[in-house]
A and B are shown apart, each in its own frame.
Chain A
């Protein structure tokens, strides 16, 4: 059977483009915005306002850089969608769902730095106003689980159900890893409930689990995709793909 060809070079470029922007995003978020982990949710309005006043310049510079790079995952999802679509017959509905979910997920990494930038924009405003922007930013970062499943379930489904497909780029364990990651990401939404402990917005299950699993997932996806593209190139050279 003849499958649609995809440019290996374009895919590699997009993967590295997305991944390098992710590294820049991580560095800006950690070292300029300085909210890894997020400040405790028990901080008062005065403490929050003081944080933005003292770090106004660096947070605003961080927000500028994030304005350039925060949608980093977009090209990675495009490559995933292209790879997934070759595993489907006819209209690739699972790939479309995966792509739509991925697109929407990028929004929720774009918004928090934007809100932190707004919070730092007027350091002399009333502290309560800064507080609500800070809370909006932090809860946007941690609780936005709406779209993950639409991105991850199709990937897991295609990875596990197309076991004999010659172009399946996903190892079996990757499919299971994605299911586990999707389950763990769901914990983030609990940030609306407590102000301290592991389910607070700076806690183990709401901040550290999703933060680390997302980074590991993106890295593993890079490695798996690059390897698959290399194999597909070899197949293409042999006239099989």
Chain B
């Protein structure tokens, strides 16, 4: 029997992690549908609240996460080709995660000091809830990156590739979910 090329139909990372990715994507899809549904009841309030968000911080955080995804992809490329040097790209991605969290904390602090809380209205309840759950994902993703940094220093092996790929997949999910949240809260203002 002819041997199949090693990478022919390989699932990136491992099959199990797609349970987590699929579950998370379903949950966030529900978030987005719920947000769109409730916006329909009070578009003026949602539009007015949308204008109170700090779009500069939102955009900066989007660029930070997109850059971090690039770093993670470069790390995966290194590991897949059996080369050294993945750890530096993963560290840079981790630093981006930290910067994202700091900016998010600044944004929350600004809102709270302006008297805007999850109790203010529905828009801000969803804003704090969804971005809060996303921030939890950033924390978990950062933990995964730390784990991957440790693994990337080991000798090249299938397991090393798998660990770095799994962390990368989760990090890309964190990035993807943020881009949709960014579009939903910061860009799609609606008409009020």
Contact of B16 among A175, A183, A186, A198 (CB under 8 A): A175
> Contacts A171-B16, A172-B16, A204-B34 given: A194-B125 contact, CB under 8 Å?
yes
CB under 8 Å from chain B, chain A span 145-192: 163, 171-177, 179-180, 183-184, 186-187, 190
Q: How far is the CB of A223 from chain B (nearest CB, A)?
A: 15
User: How far does the alpha carbon of A198 sit from the alpha carbon of B125 in the complex, in Å?
Assistant: 11
Contact with A along B119-131 (1 / 0, CB 8 A): 1001001000100
Asked if residues A186 and B15 are in contact (CB atoms below 8 Å), the reply is: no
Tell me, yes or no, whether B54 is within 8 Å of chain A by CB.
Answer: no
Pick the contact of B19: A177, A190, A199 (CB < 8 A): A177
Chain B residues, Cβ within 8 Å of A184: 23, 27
B112 within 8 A of A: no
Query: Which residues in A have their C-beta under 8 angstroms from that of B125?
Result: 190, 193-194, 197, 199
Q: Is A209 in contact with chain B by the CB < 8 A criterion?
A: yes
The interface stretch among B45-53, B57-65, B85-93, B133-141 is B133-141
Tell me, in angstroms, the Cα distance from A172 to B13 when the chains sit together: 12
Q: Which residues of A contact B23 (CB under 8 A)?
A: 177, 180, 184
One digit per residue, 1 when the CB lies within 8 angstroms of any chain B CB and 0 when it does not, for chain A 192-234 equals: 0110011100001100010000000000000000000000000
For A, the interface residue count at a CB cutoff of 8 angstroms equals 23
**Interchain CB contact under 8 A, B136 and A190:** no
Residues of B near A179 (CB, < 8 A) are 20, 140
Residues of B within 8 A of A186 (CB): 133, 136
- CB of B17 within 8 Å of the partner chain: yes
Q: Are B136 and A180 neighbours in the complex by a CB distance under 8 Å?
A: no
Task: Decide: A180 and B122 in contact? CB cutoff 8 A.
Answer: no
- Interface hits, B2-52 → A, CB 8 Å: 14-17, 19-20, 23-24, 27, 30-31, 34, 38
Q: Which residues of chain A come closer than 8 Å to B118, judged between CB atoms?
A: 190, 193
Find the residue from B14, B20, B118, B133 having the highest chain A CB count within 10 A: B20
Q: Indicate if the CB atoms of A193 and B19 lie closer than 8 Å.
A: no
Taking a contact as CB atoms under 8 Å apart, the answer to whether B24 and A173 are in contact is no
* CB-CB nearest in chain A for B129: A190
Interface residues of A in 66-122 (CB under 8 A from B): none
Query: Of B15, B24, B34, B140, which is within 8 A of A198 by CB?
Result: B34
Task: Using CB atoms, name the residue of chain A closest to B27.
Answer: A184
Cα A176 to Cα B17 in complex, Å, equals 6
- Which of B27, B140, B159 has a CB less than 8 Å from the CB of A209? B27
Nearest Cβ in chain B — how far from A172, in angstroms?
A: 4
* B-chain residues with CB within 8 Å of residue A194 when the two chains form the complex: 122, 125
* Closest beta carbon of chain B to A158's beta carbon, Å: 14
Which residues of A does B touch, CB under 8 Å?
163, 171-177, 179-180, 183-184, 186-187, 190, 193-194, 197-199, 204-205, 209
27 contacts between A and B (CB under 8 A): A163-B159, A172-B14, A173-B16, A173-B19, A174-B16, A176-B17, A176-B19, A176-B20, A179-B20, A180-B19, A180-B23, A180-B24, A183-B24, A183-B137, A183-B140, A184-B23, A184-B27, A187-B129, A190-B125, A193-B118, A197-B34, A197-B122, A199-B125, A204-B30, A204-B34, A205-B31, A205-B34
Can you add 20 more A-B contacts, CB < 8 Å, to A183-B27, A186-B136?
A: A172-B14, A172-B15, A173-B16, A174-B16, A177-B19, A177-B20, A179-B20, A179-B140, A180-B19, A180-B23, A180-B24, A183-B24, A183-B137, A184-B23, A194-B125, A197-B34, A199-B125, A204-B30, A204-B34, A205-B34
